[in-house]
Structures are given as C-alpha cells and as structure tokens.
Structure 1
Amino acid sequence: MATSMLGDYLRGRRAQLTPLDVGLSEDGRRRVPGLRREEVAMLARISVDYYLRLEQGRERRPSPQVLEALSEALLLDDDGRLHLYRLAGMTPLPRREGGIEQADAQLLAMAELWDRTPALILGRAYDVLAANTLGRAVFNHLEPGANLLLAMFLDPSVRAFHADWETAAANAVAGFRFLEGARPLDPRIQEVLRTAGTSREFADLWRRRDARGKSHASKVLLHPEVGELTLRMQTFDVRSAPGQQLIVYHAQEGTPTADALRLLGSLAATRPGHRDDSRGTVS
C-alpha cells in the first residue's frame, strides 16, 4: 500500500482521539483505538474515499480548505496545524483572529527580572500589551493598551521622543505592512490601518509598500527625564501567542545610556504602584 508522511501523520493523529474528544457518541464496538476514517471524513466534511486516498498516499496535494478542515477535525494546535500544512507542501492560511489579546503572564514575569533591560510585548497589530518596569520607565508615553503605530503618527510627544523620527516612522510602517501580509483578515489590523490613514504622513509611507519585519537595530531616543538614550533593539516572536512580539532593548555597559537606564530603573522601582499598570488588553 502506498504511503506518505502526510498520510502517516493523519493516521497517527486520528489514533490519538476518541469519539468523546470530538463530540461523538461512543458505541463501544471498536476494533482499533481512535477515530474511524469515516468519522474524520464526516467531521472534515469531505468524502470517505478522498480521506482514504490521503491516508494511503494516493492523494498528496489537498487544498488549503481541506487542510484547514482536517486540522479542526483532528483538534490540532498551532504547531500541529503548521506541521500538517508543511507535510502537504503548503503555507498555512491566515486565521481570522479576534477577541481579547493578552500578554503571556510567564513571559512578562521573566521580563520583570531584567532590571537593566527595557522590554515591551506587542500584539499582532502593534498594540502594547505589556512592558516590564524599565520598559515603562523608558517608554512612558506608551501605556499598556496604546498602539505603537498610531502613537508614532498621531501623538505629538512621540515625534519629539525619537531623534530620527522619519526613519523610525518608515520602519514602523514597513513592519506593519509585513504584519498585514501575514494576517490580512485580522479585524484589529484593519482597524489600526483605518485610524492611521487619517495621517497624511502615514498614507505617504504606506503607498511605498515597503515590508520588513522588526529585527535588530539601533535607535536614539530623547527621554524627558534622563536625556539621550542609544539603545540596541532585538525582536523575538512569541511562540505561545502567534503574532505577538517581544521587543528587548539594551545598552552597552560603561556608556552614559547604561548609567541612565540604571537611574530610570531606580526611579521606577520607588514609585508607588509601579507594577499595577504593567499590562493592558486589546480586543
């Protein structure tokens, strides 16, 4: 019998589920563990014959719609869904996302241990979901719940905060274009785009169609309390929340910026209730 990695994966995942897992009744007369092929086909709304061909390796290129239906029928998590698409030689369809978006509590708790490293957690549409203590001290104009892109173009204080606002604005727009390409159906991304479109400067940059993700970079910030800060930036994808990003800033030891960060950290730690505003939620 022909086989394939895709077929083996489907068969293996089917064997891990019980009828009760997927809302079916258990008849008690099963010769093998797991779901029957007929049940998976029914749950995925495809024919039994087509599903059989997939498992046997006689069909190796299902459509994205079929893969999406199978990932739902087999209760695959994000990693399992990605693996299913890869076995079929395809890239996953973007999911329509919504609801309340929150930062991972364990990730934020880890970031709070970095007393010399400002950190922000951004949502899938550049919403500021959380910041550690030093991150809030450095980016005191970006309260949790603010949006990084909208603040860049609609908040006058942000223009004064960046020594090179034009470059920072262009990078923010290119990064947002990159996000939109990955999730074009996301309602929050579209909402932010509509609001940002009220800025002529944003509209001019958006028409350039530059697209690039955040990575490592250096920027100079003009902080109202401690003056000029020269920071390196690193960006990490958050595996526990696809679409979210952890932005980490650091300064070279022995520089005025490193001294300024220590001062900001000390000031922030002594302010009453400094941990109470560490996170926000975005729907």
Structure 2
Amino acid sequence: MDSSNALGEYLRARREQVRPADVGIVPGGLRRVPGLRREEVALLAGISADYYLRLEQGRDRNKFTDILAVNELCTALSPNYRVGVNMMRAVFLDPAEHALRRDWLDLTDEAVAVLRANVGPDLSDPRLVELVTELRRAVVESQVTG
C-alpha cells in the first residue's frame, strides 16, 4: 500500500469488495470492475461524486481536521463528532468540548502542530487563512471578555 495515499487505497479496496446487490442497488449496464462504482459509493455516503473521487485520488485529505466519517461509538464520545465538523473549531471554540477534555491544553498544542504539519508551506491557502483568522479572533475576544 502506498503510504502517500493510504486512504485512497483503502477506499478502492473496500469499494471493490461490495456488490451492488449487497447494498440494494439493482445492477445495470456493463461493469468494467467488480464492486461498486465511485458514484454509487458517493450516493450511499451522502457526498458528491466529485468529492469522493478527490478522496480516492488523494487530492482532498483531511488537512484542516474536518470530520469525514463517524460511527456510533464516535458520536457517543462527543456531540462534535459529526460529519463536516471542523475539530479545530470545536476544540478551540466550544466550551462543552473544552469541558470534556482534561488534557485540553495538550490537545490544543497537538492540534496546532497537526494543522501546521498537514498544511505544510501553503500558508496562503484561503481556507487556512479563514480558519486561523476565526480562531485568533475568538481567542482574543475570550481574553478581552474573560
């Protein structure tokens, strides 16, 4: 498995193991490969086919700490564990998340380090600038009001 795109390799391998009939899809037309088509997986996952393709190709990694998938156990741990939630925002801005974490200071240090490592040299990425600006503003406001 190529470690530079482990998620894509995993998604492809799992997709190939599931037959359309296994998930209630009536097979139709010719299939070049066994298993589900990308579009079918995207439909079942509730995401766009384009987004699924980017995940499988390694072009859209979870570099801003967005939650891409959850399971029942995960959601039992924190209400913030929902698809689409940005964990940087949750950890820094949600008082309930802060209260859940005895190691909150260590967690925030680690979160910043992970974000820096994931983003790499692309510091001008508009999404990064927006996220950092929002978090910085919230920290400043909490220092002023707190």
Scaled by the length of structure 2, the TM-score of the pair is 0.49
Give the number of the structure whose residues are more often strand, by fraction: 1
User: Using CA pairs below 8 Å that are at least 6 residues apart, which structure has the higher relative contact order?
Assistant: 1
Larger radius of gyration: 1
Q: Which has the higher helix share?
A: 2
